[in-house]
Structures are given as C-alpha cells and as structure tokens.
C-alpha cells in the first residue's frame, strides 16, 4: 500500500504456480494488488505487502494459494491469550 | 413495492439528520453494536427486473453509505445479517460469508424478482465469500466491484469495470482520523484499572497524599493515551519504525518530554518523577499504538503476532522499572 508497509518477512502467503490455472480471480480480490497475472499464471508481486485477509486463498478454485488468514488485531489476540488463562473481559463493544 | 416474490421495502437515498447523528454516535462507540437494519432485500428508487443487485452488511453505517451513493438510481440492495458488523470485519468472521449470501438470496426470492443472475459485492467481502461456491449453490454469479462505496457509481457507469485505484486500499489522513474517536473511548476506559491506580501511587509517593501530584499524574496518563490513540494514528507514516509500538513509543516519549518541560516551568520536577513520567507515558502510548494495528488495512495477523512477541516483554519490563522508580522515590522522600 502506498506509503505503508508493515513488518517484512512474516506474511504466510504462498502461491503454487504448478497448480495455478491462471483464472485471474485472485488478482481481482486482492485489496493490495499483490497478486498479478504474469502470462498464463498468477504471481506474487510483493509478499511483504500482504495483510493476510485470505480473500485470494478462499476464492482460488484449485487451492493454489495458501495463507494463514485471520484477524490482525492486538487486543483480540491479548483477549484470546488471557482467555487461555481463563481471564475474560466483557467486550461487547468490540468490532472484530 | 410489489414484486413476484411479494412486497419489498422501498428506501430513499437521502440521509436525514438522524442518520448523520447516528453515524457520528457509532464512531464514538455509542450504541455501536446495536446500530443495525433488518437484513433482507430493499428497493432503492424503482428497480426493474434488470436492475443491478448490490450486497452489503446490516451495519447501519454501511447500509446508509450505499443508499446515499445510490440516490437517484434504481437498484436492489440485498442486506446480509452480519449482526451489525461492517463488511470487512464480518467477512473476517465469516458472517459476511458464502452461506449467508446463499441463504439471503433464497429467503428474499431474488431469483423471481430479477431476470439476471449477478450479485455485486464490495471487494472487502471476498475474504468471507467464495464466489464460485455461491454460483454453484444459488445460481448467482458474484462480482467483486470496488473497495470503497464512493467508487460504486463510477463503477456502474463504467460498464462494471473497476479502475486500478478503485481496487487498491489507501489509508489517508482522513481515513485514519475517523477511526480515532473509538480508540480514545477504549483508551479512556483503561484509566479505571491502570491510570487511576498509578496516579494514586504517584499521589502517595511523598509519604502523604498530594492531590496536586495525583491530578498531574492522571493528566499525564491522559496525554499518553491521546498520544497512542490519536497522535500516532494521525502521524503514522511520519513516525519512525515499522512496529506500531515503536511509533507509539516515539510519540509518547516526545509528548512526555514536552509535558515535563512545561511542568518544569511551573514547578520543579524531580529527576525520579521525570523518569517515572517518561517511562509510563512511553509505554502507555506504545500500547495504544499497538492496539491500532487492529484498525488498519495493512497489518497482517502474523506481523501483529511478531510485534506483540517483541514489544510486550519490553513494555512489561518498563512498567516494572517504573514501579521501582516510584517506590524508590517514596523511600528517598
């Protein structure tokens, strides 16, 4: 995304070009335009820009894309971590 | 209006003062989780059997934005049950998902109302909706149109072709600004269990309780919360570091140094007091800045996990060091 890039070398996005059938759906759903068509196959332009929303992997008809998708929210992670210790806060005002 | 599948509610594109006030309240977290409209099919204008079908969430702010952009047009609006959550977050949770699209198409009798078999979804919905499966299960083709509702009119007028910039996320100053009120509200709630006890401790740190010291400490805590929840999001691209906690720590440290120098003009700030204020304010600002990762459109869960693994131990260490500084100050006085 223009002007913004988060931590490098952590995104879990993977594309298996041997499986890819070149339908182009992934390039239409990626909100950071990371997946591009290079001839008959899709290609990852810059993995570090991936926010792991999972739209490409979900919509790929042949499962050529994998990504460990989830909610990238620190408070959500802290709450889940605390819940592991059976500490819970009432968070009815949280969005994600 | 009457259709072959029964009556469909007609809605208007113009927003009233109540709608605008409602959106403002939701931004400030007032009744945000019950700001909803009933799911189902709506008619905007006088749509016919060939009119496009748009799909959105039942968060009233999402629904309002769509109908505002679709004023003076004739379209169908299919509202999914996302329990009052916006499209992106609901897609992440799976409520703006394949199953709900298929269910809502069936329950609304859409196939009897329109002749075509095409649904227009926001791009952010793709994280929850598998287009080929919707097609298989409902017969309707899913088209992911644009990211922003504001681009929808141009998309429709342009023969349903999205220009590159309509499909690429941005995070402008204005887009960051509208997110800050809810961050402030959440940050202020922490005053109860973190800001108040720390300020009480600071108030007692000279042996007898000093109301001036207590109020000063509380004020500094509030400044630190604002540094993490407002200043850091607004200055995001200008602050140093990739990690939000680093950006927030930088903003918090600058704010605390500014506050200390102002206070030093009014009264003499002891070295230990100054060190305690600098530590607390840096950590509080860093923590709330880290929290903002949940509100941006470019932070990956893997990145947030990595950031937390690195930052939380440092923050915990700083809080511990701070308590030592305050308690040492008590004994010295």
As beta bridge partners, residue B80 has B57
- CATH number reported for the structural domain that contains residue B150 in this entry: 3.40.50.11600
pLDDT digits (tens, 9 = 90+) for A6-60: 999 999 999 999 999 999 999 999 999 999 999 999 999 999 999 999 999 999 9
pLDDT digits (tens, 9 = 90+) for B114-172: 999 999 999 999 999 999 999 999 999 999 999 999 999 999 999 999 999 999 999 99
The span from the CA of A74 to the CA of A67, in Å, is 19
Which residues between 61 and 100 in chain B have a beta carbon less than 8 angstroms from any beta carbon of chain A?
Answer: 85-86, 89, 91-93
pLDDT digits (tens, 9 = 90+) for B178-226: 999 999 998 998 888 888 888 888 888 777 888 988 999 999 999 999 9
A91 within domain boundaries: no
A46 within domain boundaries: yes
A51 within domain boundaries: yes
Residues B42 and B68 in one domain: yes
The residue range of the domain holding A63 is: 14-84
Q: Any idea what DSSP says for residue B240?
A: S
Model confidence, pTM: 0.89
User: Measured between CA atoms, how close is A38 to chain B, in angstroms?
Assistant: 17
Instruction: Read off the pLDDT band of B278 (50, 70, 90).
Output: very high
Torsion of CA B134, B138, B143, B149, to 10 degrees: -90
The span from the CA of B221 to the CA of B217, in Å, is 6
The span from the CA of B29 to the CA of B22, in Å, is 10
Residues B9 and B60 in one domain: yes
Which residues between 54 and 83 in chain A have a beta carbon less than 8 angstroms from any beta carbon of chain B?
Answer: 54-55, 58-59, 61, 68-78
The span from the CA of B245 to the CA of B196, in Å, is 23
A71 within domain boundaries: yes
Residues B114 and B246 in one domain: no
As beta bridge partners, residue B143 has B120
Q: What is the pLDDT of residue A72?
A: 66
The span from the CA of B114 to the CA of B55, in Å, is 14
- CATH number reported for the structural domain that contains residue A51 in this entry: 3.30.70.20
A61 within domain boundaries: yes
The span from the CA of B168 to the CA of A84, in Å, is 37
| A41, burial (CB in 10 Å: exposed 0-12, middle 13-18, buried 19+) | middle
Contacts of B319 (CB under 8 A, 6+ apart): B279, B280, B283
Residues B294 and B196 in one domain: yes
The residue range of the domain holding B321 is: 174-332
CB contact under 8 A, A4 and B124: no
Which residue, of B108, B143, B169, is where some domain finishes? B169
Q: Which of B304, B310, B313 would best serve as a mutation to test chain A binding (most A beta carbons within 10 A)? A: B304
Most confident of B2-16, B55-69, B317-331: B55-69
Residues B141 and B56 in one domain: yes
The span from the CA of B283 to the CA of B279, in Å, is 6
CB B179 within 8 A of CB B89: no
Number of domains in chain A: 1
The span from the CA of B121 to the CA of A55, in Å, is 13
Number of domains in chain B: 2
A62 within domain boundaries: yes
């Amino acid at each position: 995304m223009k002007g913004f890039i988060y931590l490098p070398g952590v995104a879990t996005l993977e594309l298996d070009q041997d499986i890819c059938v070149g339908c182009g759906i992934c390039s239409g759903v990626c909100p950071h335009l990371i997946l591009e068509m290079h001839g008959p196959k899709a290609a990852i332009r810059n993995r570090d820009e991936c926010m792991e929303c999972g739209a490409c992997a979900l919509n790929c008809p042949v499962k050529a894309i994998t990504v460990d998708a989830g909610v990238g929210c620190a408070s959500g992670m802290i709450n889940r971590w605390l819940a592991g210790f059976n500490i819970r806060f009432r968070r009815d005002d949280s969005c994600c | 209006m009457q259709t072959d599948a029964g009556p469909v509610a007609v809605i208007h594109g113009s927003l009233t003062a109540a709608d605008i006030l409602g959106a403002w309240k939701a931004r400030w977290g007032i009744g945000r989780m019950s700001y909803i409209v009933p799911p189902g099919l709506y008619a905007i204008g006088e749509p016919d059997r060939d009119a496009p079908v748009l799909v959105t969430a039942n968060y009233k702010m999402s629904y309002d934005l769509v109908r505002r952009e679709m004023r003076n047009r004739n379209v169908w609006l299919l509202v999914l049950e996302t329990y009052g959550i916006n499209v992106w977050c609901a897609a992440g949770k799976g409520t703006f998902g394949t199953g709900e699209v298929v269910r809502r198409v069936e329950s609304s009798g859409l196939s009897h109302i329109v002749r075509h078999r095409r649904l227009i979804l926001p791009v952010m919905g793709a994280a929850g909706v598998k287009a080929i499966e919707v097609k298989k299960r409902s017969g309707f083709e899913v088209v992911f149109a644009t990211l922003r509702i504001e681009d929808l009119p141009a998309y429709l007028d342009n023969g349903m072709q999205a220009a590159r910039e309509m499909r690429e996320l941005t995070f402008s100053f204005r887009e960051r600004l509208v997110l800050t009120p809810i961050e402030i509200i959440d940050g202020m709630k922490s005053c109860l269990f973190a800001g108040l006890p720390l300020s009480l401790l600071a108030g007692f740190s000279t042996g007898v309780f000093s109301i001036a010291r207590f109020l000063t400490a509380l004020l500094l805590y509030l400044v630190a919360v604002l540094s993490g929840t407002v200043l850091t999001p607004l200055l995001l691209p200008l602050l140093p570091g990739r990690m939000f906690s680093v950006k927030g720590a930088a903003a918090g440290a600058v704010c605390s140094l500014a506050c200390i120098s102002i206070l030093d003009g009014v009264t003499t700030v002891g070295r230990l007091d100054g060190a305690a204020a600098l530590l607390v304010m840096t950590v509080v600002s860093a923590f709330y800045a880290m929290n903002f990762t949940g509100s941006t459109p470019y932070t990956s869960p893997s990145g947030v996990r990595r950031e937390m693994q690195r930052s939380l131990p440092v923050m915990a260490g700083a809080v511990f060091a701070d308590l030592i500084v305050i308690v040492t100050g008590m004994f010295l006085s």
